[in-house]
């Protein structure tokens, strides 16, 4: 592999973006089966990150049970669908937690997130600065919403992003594909899980 593709482990962190039970292990059997390959990919990526000794940062999307912090701004999508722009899990419920297969360990970092970006209002940017990490590996869902928002914000903060393709998902297949193949290529490197592993020298 070319040196330009290598990732310095000492400068890198993994962001497991919104890998909560609600997304990866939903109650509906058909949806759960469809998400199984993504969960499997996350099991492999997190194991690789642990083996490489890089910090793992989890985010989970939450709102208060009373809905006081739910985003109600008017958007075209909310007008079309009749649902708020963001539909987070309820803070403190099991669905806002993480599947057992990829559950955080004591040495990991977990942030509650109320907006699409992994950075906005979370403390993730401050943590990366404190740890002296200016490269992130990221995946999650929805690809074209939260992951892309986070990658764009990372770019604005001079943080290099590598997106793990198999670890991303989205309810809109066309938007998911466009985000990976077109939109995010200006702001990040989009790589397969095998390529990410090789980039880490793992």
CB-side neighbour CA atoms (13 Å) of 20: 21
Residue with tokens 């482990």: 9
pLDDT reported for residue 1: 59
How many CB atoms neighbour CB 88 within 10 A? 23
pLDDT reported for residue 174: 97
Give the span between the Cα atoms of 138 and 57, in whole angstroms. Answer: 10
Backbone φ and ψ for 62, nearest 5 degrees, come out as: -135, 155
pLDDT reported for residue 111: 97
Give the span between the Cα atoms of 63 and 166, in whole angstroms. Answer: 27
* The token pair that represents 101 in the structure block: 């297969």
pLDDT reported for residue 86: 73
How many CB atoms neighbour CB 135 within 10 A? 20
Give the span between the Cα atoms of 7 and 21, in whole angstroms. Answer: 30
Give the span between the Cα atoms of 13 and 134, in whole angstroms. Answer: 8
Q: pLDDT means per 10 residues in the chain (202 residues)? A: 83 98 95 97 98 97 88 85 80 93 98 95 97 98 96 98 98 96 98 97 82
Region at 95 (left for phi over 0; alpha for psi -120 to 50; beta for the rest)? alpha
pLDDT reported for residue 16: 98
Mind listing the domains of the chain with CATH numbers? 8-199 (3.40.50.850)
């Amino acid at each position: 592999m070319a040196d330009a593709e290598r990732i310095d482990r000492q400068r890198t962190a993994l962001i497991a973006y919104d890998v909560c039970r609600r997304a990866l292990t939903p109650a509906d059997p058909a949806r759960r089966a469809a998400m199984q390959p993504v969960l499997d990919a996350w099991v492999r990526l997190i194991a690789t990150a642990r083996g490489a000794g890089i910090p793992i940062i989890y985010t989970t999307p939450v709102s208060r049970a009373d809905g006081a912090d739910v985003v109600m701004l008017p958007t075209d999508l909310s007008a079309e669908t009749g649902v708020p722009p963001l539909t987070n899990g309820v803070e403190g419920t099991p669905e806002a937690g993480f599947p057992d297969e990829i559950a955080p360990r004591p040495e990991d970092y977990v942030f509650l997130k109320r907006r699409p970006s992994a950075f906005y209002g979370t403390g993730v940017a401050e943590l990366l600065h404190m740890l002296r990490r200016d490269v992130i590996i990221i995946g999650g869902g929805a690809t074209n919403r939260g992951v892309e928002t986070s990658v764009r914000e990372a770019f604005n903060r001079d943080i290099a992003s590598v997106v793990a393709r198999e670890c991303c998902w989205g309810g809109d297949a066309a938007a998911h594909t466009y985000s990976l193949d077109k939109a995010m290529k200006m702001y990040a490197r989009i790589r397969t899980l095998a390529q990410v592993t090789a980039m880490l020298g793992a």
